[in-house]
Structure 1
Amino acid sequence: MILFTLLALFFAAIVLWKRARRPLAVCTVALFWLLAAGWLTAPLLHLAQPRWQTDTPARFAPRTAIIMLGGGTTYDDHTLVPPRDVIARISASAENYAACKRAAAICRVIVSGGNPQRHLATEADTYLPYLLREQVPRADIVLENSSLTTYENARNVSAILDGSRYDSLILVTSAYQMPRALLDFHRFGLAPQPMISNARRARLGVLPRYDNLVSAEIALHELIGIAQFHVYRAIGWF
């Protein structure tokens, strides 16, 4: 949506500003080629997902909660399924759950994700069968299926945790979402351990690639979200 809006703005400028049509058209083509070929997408991803220490094992305590953030749903032959990045989050959450059970008395997986895309089911409900297949028992899964944004993920999970005596919190999500997620969780007085499930990489070349445009859209979304968080905090909305 961000890239589409940007393209629409360039198109409107080209239509309205007749004397500058040619340079504007050249700038538009150059910008989107740089994004699609990865040369501009790579630095955007570098800004959105700092280098996280991915080889540091999680620290489990007697009562541990693993918080997995949603990342949308998609249709595969009319069946609602998790996207690729979410599959990585599910696998990382299940691996941490298995390790937690070997070290702690109580382990819970809190899956946070509502239905911002207005599909047939919420994110949390869609991800549940995949966690069950990864040998996470239903009794240890808590579904939070009403949040529509990362901020609401943090707010609603905070409400679930209120009154629960967890000694350790582990936050599982993709590298690009982690900086904003930590800001939101800190806003509600929570300091979970960051656990990166996956990171995006730009594929540099000459030919445009759709995946690079998707990654650029994600990076811009996160960077704008971080800026929005700080603006809202400054004016007292958060």
Structure 2
Amino acid sequence: MLAVFWLLGAGWLTAPLLQMAQPHDLSTTPVSYASRTAIIVLGGGTDYNDDDVLVPPHDVLSRINVSAQHYAACRRVAATCEVIVSGGNPQKHRASEADTYLPYLLRQQVPRTDIVLENRSLTTYENARNVSAIVRRARYDSLILVTSAYQMPRALLDFHRFGLEPQPLVSNVRRARLSAIPHYYNFESAEIALHELIGIAQFHVYRAIGWF
């Protein structure tokens, strides 16, 4: 048990877990814009900073930044570009994920009129379910899904479950920090990778027995 603990914390076991959870091909696929394009940003929690202000975690900041950059690029070529921010309040903090992320998009010049908030979903499956209702009403020509590399495989499974085929746009990739001394970041990354791998297995089991 101590050996496993050290291998995770030092990154040597965390690295292959991250490789399994983060397929390389998803992070290299380019995206394209259509006349009516929606950029879907998935939530990834909220944190309280030292001033007790609710803020997006580091990984989510990457999602917000990438979404804002692609919104700007989309606006140069497409008639309609909107950003759908999906995330409720599973942590029971003072505000939902979507509402917490909104000011960060506004600061990056994404106008409020082009932002759609979906602030009720508590899981990735609910992200897909709730967003699917939004996009069907709006009739977009192209969907772009923005999230971290580790969440993308499971997110695509959930969106496919609801008949959507979004283009994957990876915002950031986690990499183990190899060393002789255990680091908290490696334990956190290992937990994230295991959560996603177990979630994928769970999805297939639930589909097999008819729950999804």
Give yes or no for the alignment of 1:76 onto 2:49: yes
Alignment of 1:80-99 (within 5 A): 80-99=54-73
Residue deviations 1:88-142, cap 9 Å, x none? 0000000110000001000000000000000000000000000000100000000
Alignment of 1:148-167 (within 5 A): 148-167=122-141
Deviation of residue 161 (structure 1)? Answer: 1.2
Deviation of residue 69 (structure 1)? Answer: 0.2
Alignment of 1:137-176 (within 5 A): 137-176=111-150
Residue 163 of structure 2 corresponds to 189
CA contact (8 A) 2:41 2:145 kept: yes
Quote the sequence identity (%): 75
SS in 1 for 2:143: strand
CA contact (8 A) 2:42 2:146 kept: yes
CA contact (8 A) 1:82 1:126 kept: yes
Residue 16 of structure 2 corresponds to 43
How far apart are the structure 2 equivalents of 1:163 and 1:88?
A: 28
How far apart are the structure 2 equivalents of 1:199 and 1:190?
A: 24
Give yes or no for the alignment of 1:61 onto 2:34: yes
CA contact (8 A) 1:52 1:196 kept: no
Residue deviations 1:205-236, cap 9 Å, x none? 11000000000000000000000000000000
RMSD: 0.8
SS in 2 for 1:64: strand
Whichever residue aligns with residue 24 of structure 2, its letter is R
CA contact (8 A) 2:22 2:173 kept: yes
Whichever residue aligns with residue 32 of structure 1, its letter is F
TM-score by length of 2: 0.98
Residue 154 of structure 2 corresponds to 180
Alignment of 1:205-220 (within 5 A): 205-220=179-194
Deviation of residue 52 (structure 1)? Answer: 2.9
Whichever residue aligns with residue 38 of structure 1, its letter is G
How far apart are the structure 2 equivalents of 1:56 and 1:164?
A: 25
Deviation of residue 57 (structure 1)? Answer: 3.5
User: In terms of mean alpha carbon deviation, does 225-234 or 158-167 score higher?
Assistant: 158-167
TM-score by length of 1: 0.87
Residue 91 of structure 2 corresponds to 117
Whichever residue aligns with residue 126 of structure 2, its letter is E
Residue deviations 1:53-96, cap 9 Å, x none? 54544210000000000000001020100000000000000011
Residue 6 of structure 2 corresponds to 33
Query: What 5-or-longer segments of structure 1 have no aligned partner?
Result: 1-27
Deviation of residue 150 (structure 1)? Answer: 0.2
How far apart are the structure 2 equivalents of 1:53 and 1:214?
A: 22
Structure of higher CA gyration radius: 1
How far apart are the structure 1 equivalents of 2:23 and 2:179?
A: 23
